[in-house]
Amino acid sequence: MDFEMGKTYDELEIGMSASFTKTITETDVYLFAGISGDFNPMHVNEEFAKLTPFGTRIAHGALPQCLIAPVLGMKLPGLGTVALEINTRFRAPTHFGDTITASAEVKEKLEDKRWVRMTLSWTNQKGEKVAEGEALVMPPPKLG
């Protein structure tokens, strides 16, 4: 098999960025509930959700948060990257049918350990920021 490894520490530059976009469906929310074991009625029961400040069901916060995984692990830095830490602050709910774009940008290169700090953001189709955060990653090593 032939894999194209992601960018190494030396290949990464401050300001490089990548993103991944996905529409969050009702099916996604129910599958996520099954995978995570989180059946909070705020996510899966419309009648209960009507009683909440959101007035309707919303996706689990971790569901759109997970969309950063294909960015870090497959795009930037890419294959071979190890996520060491991800911090996320949720700013707005993700509703069923929202299209979320998860983005990462190289913010800082830490020479001592050859790790990279990245700024993260998640926005919906209206351009509203639903979450923001930071990741610390170990880019793939140079092979050969």
Q: Where are the beta strands (DSSP E) in 7-113?
A: 17-23, 82-90, 99-110
Does pLDDT of 144 surpass 80? no
Does pLDDT of 1 surpass 80? no
- State pLDDT tens for residues 37-90: 999 999 999 999 999 999 999 999 999 999 999 999 999 999 999 999 999 999
Buried b / exposed e over 40-77, threshold 16 CB at 10 Å, is eebbbeeeebeeeeeeebbbbbebbbbbbeebbbebbb
Q: Where do we find the tokens 């049918």?
A: 97
- State pLDDT tens for residues 113-132: 999 999 999 999 999 999 99
Tell me what the mean pLDDT of segment 27-39 comes to: 98
- State pLDDT tens for residues 98-111: 999 999 999 999 99
